[in-house]
Structure 1
Amino acid sequence: MTVRLSFASLIALALTTLPLHAEGDPEAGEKAFKKCRACHTVADGDRVIFKGGKAGPNLYGLIGRPAAGTDFRYSSAMQALGETGFVWDAENFTEFMQDPVGFVKTTLDDNGARTRMTQKLKAEDAADVAAWLASVGPAPTESGS
């Protein structure tokens, strides 16, 4: 399988070295995350931060993690995204949550790319959820230093 990246996608990948902090409101993000609970849990081992469903991957540590970076059974498009070296940050997560299928199509430059993620959030809610996930996840690590 060949993965072609658009210029915009390459720029987005290059920007993953920027800080992983989120610009949203973590308190509002915790409330907005309730829309995600049918499919997602946020847990670090036995420490459950938010108990939800298991139809989607555990989102603990998502900010700073490579796409398809856990032992969940991801769609082929999400696996392909991970194979490009794509790493989630607050900005690209916010963009993804506004249109998950459109995001993977554009990022992979593949009109046939699909994801199992169907929920969409408004930009503000998505930024708030990103901020909350960053606030409850592990501290970002400095790479390349």
Structure 2
Amino acid sequence: MKLNDISDNPGSSKSRMRVGRGIGSGKGKTCGRGVKGQKARTGVAIKGFEGGQMPLHRRLPKRGFWNPFGTDYNEINIGRIQEAVEAGKLDPAAAITNEALIQCGLISKPRDGVKILGVGKLEAKLSFEVAAASKSAVAAIEGAGGSIRLLKAAAEAPADAG
């Protein structure tokens, strides 16, 4: 066998369609593009165009609102904090801050701060320095003998610069 003897199986590859070679070819004149119009031309595609009818993305109502001045807190329940203290991930003697929660793996990103929520039971005497806390969380922390200091968030600072 020689290299010039090697060939594909018959019918394994199809030859390309040669358009515009007369009406007898089946792909003459308009070359399979139909007739007239912008879409019959080369390189034109109108995304979302429905022939003058109002496009679907404009018929549907707008939904939602994005507040550029809103705060995005990391919410964490006191029950998960108690579990981290029991597992030895959090030091009960040190203040529990955003950085401490990132270090122990309870939260992954700093965002706009931490908000403590009151689901679960807190038995350890802990001191918190967080951006926000729910009323039930504050009651549970103070009930366990701990303290909480709410930090003034950057979003709440006055925006009067001029």
With the length of structure 2 as denominator, give the TM-score of the two structures: 0.19
Point out the structure with the larger helix share: 1
Structure whose CA Rg is larger: 2
Q: 1 or 2 for the larger relative contact order (CA 8 Å, sep ≥6)?
A: 1
With the length of structure 1 as denominator, give the TM-score of the two structures: 0.20
Point out the structure with the larger strand share: 2
